[in-house]
Amino acid sequence: MTSNNTFTMIKPDAMADGHMGKILAHIQAAGFRFKALKMTRLSQAQAEAFYAVHAARPFYGELVAFMSSGPVLAAVLEKDQAVADFRTLIGATNPEQAAEGTIRKLYARSIGENAVHGSDSDENAAIEAAFFFSGLEQA
């Protein structure tokens, strides 16, 4: 069965660049409901754990350093087809290849500092939501 939830983070680049409010409004205007929301800062060990699936990739060290460099805003979002629709909303990983009007096209700095995360499957959405939030925190 397809879940209606996805997980997102507004990444340290977009937080530092003052885009948090505009990105939240963009997400809401697209019909997503916020089930959980938290501003926090990942330690290096937490960023390593969250991105463990990418540990063998050449950019892993850079990714972990960046994701622990400043605050992030983590959220669980609800909508029909949340995972697929949110990935359409944020655009391609590389903002140079992202469609016009997508969050990454509008706000990302680069492929590594790309403004937002979006889960790539229902299974990963549940794992990633549980990394940041308890069941009690998802209303």
Interface with ligand CMP (CB under 6 A): 54, 59, 62-63, 93, 111-112, 114, 117
Q: How far is the CB of 26 from ligand CMP (least distance, A)?
A: 17
Q: Which tokens sit at 32? A: 């997503």
Q: How far is the CB of 117 from ligand CMP (least distance, A)?
A: 4
List 19, 26, 54, 117, catalytic entry:
117
Classify residue 51 by burial, with Cβ atoms within 10 Å: 0-12, 13-18, 19+: middle
Of 59 and 131, the one with the shorter C-beta distance to ligand CMP is: 59
Q: How far is the CB of 103 from ligand CMP (least distance, A)?
A: 12
Inter-residue contact 8 to 109 (CB < 8 Å): no
- Give me Rg for the CA atoms of the chain: 14
Q: Which tokens sit at 110? A: 């680069």
Inter-residue contact 72 to 15 (CB < 8 Å): yes
Q: How far is the CB of 112 from ligand CMP (least distance, A)?
A: 3
Q: Any catalytic annotation for residue 26?
A: no
Q: How far apart, in whole angstroms, are the C-alpha atoms of residue 33 and residue 18? A: 22
Q: How far apart, in whole angstroms, are the C-alpha atoms of residue 135 and residue 104? A: 29
**Active site residues per annotation:** 117
